[in-house]
Amino acid sequence: MILIANSEAWPGFQTTVDRLRAGERGPDPLVAGISCVEREVTVRSVGYGGWPNMLGEMEFDAGVMDGTTRQVGAVGALRDVVPASAVALQVMRRLPHVLLTGDGARRFALECGFAAEPTLLEDSRRVWWERLEKELPPADLAAFPDIPLAPLSRAITDPERVRDTTVFLGQDSGGGLHAATSTSGWAWKYPGRLGDSPIAGAGFYADSRFGAAACTHTGEMTVRCGTARSIVLALQLGRTLREAVDLAVADLATLDLGFLAGVVIHALDAQGNHEVVSFRCGPAIRYWYWDPSLTAPEERVARTV
């Protein structure tokens, strides 16, 4: 058994550890943990604590993959419902589909018994509006939101670096490798924008035979490179975990157009090795690690490339 997650996973990491220790298999223990993170208002990148899109609306993205069956469930631009990862798990369990977005995702969540509720914190609403006040000329501000939004997307993309995704990757007691992700995406994103977190193959992927990977930060880049899938495929082709991750990093480094910034890659292989690599992310990136040889989870520092 093994579990890794990004640094903001602290509200739910122990929940997942406890469920793995109890012998629970499949992606459910990961979703139990990530749901705690989504409910924690002090985690400012996911669930209630996340940041809204340009219109001041919360839109959640989440993905789940069972690496043994390679079933996937995901939701994108889900409104009014927390935890999005639990809705993603129900997409995997109840539908012949892998990804629902927007109104369809919300409708499905309510059908499953999730409650619709306000998800925009007053503090997030205030910060969102203050940013618009700073960016928009008075005439546009007065007309808002009936103005073209596209010009704003360059100006306010990630204005305060208030982005992140919660990712959990685990190997259960049966050797099954699984992945779960959840995020509110970038602050002030264009409405309807999906990052990598609900996109299997980009923001997450798991195959119990070989490995699992999940990414945080600039989702546009990992969608373009198919980063998570590329790592698991490299493992399948016989590369070591470090080689597989370094190949993915080298591929990201060849991008030279579009919005380019940092990416953090989390990865496991079927032999119980792990890698967390921070690519052009600046200050040290931390992550959580646990395996049964440890009495308690450890917070460790990612390799920087």
Between 171 and 218, CB nearer to ligand ASP: 218
| 44 sits near ligand ASP (criterion: CB under 6 A) | no
Q: Catalytic residue, from 15, 165, 166, 227: name it.
A: 165
Determine whether 165 is an active site residue: yes
Round to whole Å and give the CA distance between 8 and 119: 19
| 195 sits near ligand ASP (criterion: CB under 6 A) | yes
Binding site for substrate: residue ranges? 193-196, 216-219
| 38 sits near ligand ASP (criterion: CB under 6 A) | no
Alpha-carbon distances of 65 from 6, 90, 92, 184, rounded to whole Å: 17, 12, 8, 19
Q: Give the pairing type, strands 71-78 and 99-101.
A: parallel
Radius of gyration for the alpha carbons in the chain, expressed in angstroms and rounded: 18
| 208 sits near ligand ASP (criterion: CB under 6 A) | no
| Minimum gap (Å) between residue 165 Cβ and ligand ASP | 3
Structure tokens at 288: 């959580």
Between 114 and 186, CB nearer to ligand ASP: 186
Between 35 and 216, CB nearer to ligand ASP: 216
| 166 sits near ligand ASP (criterion: CB under 6 A) | no
Round to whole Å and give the CA distance between 66 and 89: 10
| 185 sits near ligand ASP (criterion: CB under 6 A) | yes
Q: Which of 15, 119, 197, 230 binds ligand ASP (CB under 6 A)?
A: 197
User: Whose CA is closest to 153, among 132, 184, 139?
Assistant: 132
User: Which residues does 72 contact at the CB level (< 8 Å), separation at least 6?
Assistant: 63, 64, 65, 66, 92, 98, 99, 200
Q: Which of 15, 183, 208, 227 binds ligand ASP (CB under 6 A)?
A: 183
Torsion angles phi and psi, residue 74, rounded to 5: -155, 155
Between 26 and 195, CB nearer to ligand ASP: 195
Which residues are at the interface with ligand ASP (CB under 6 A)? 163-165, 183, 185-186, 195-197, 216-217, 219
Residues labelled catalytic: 165
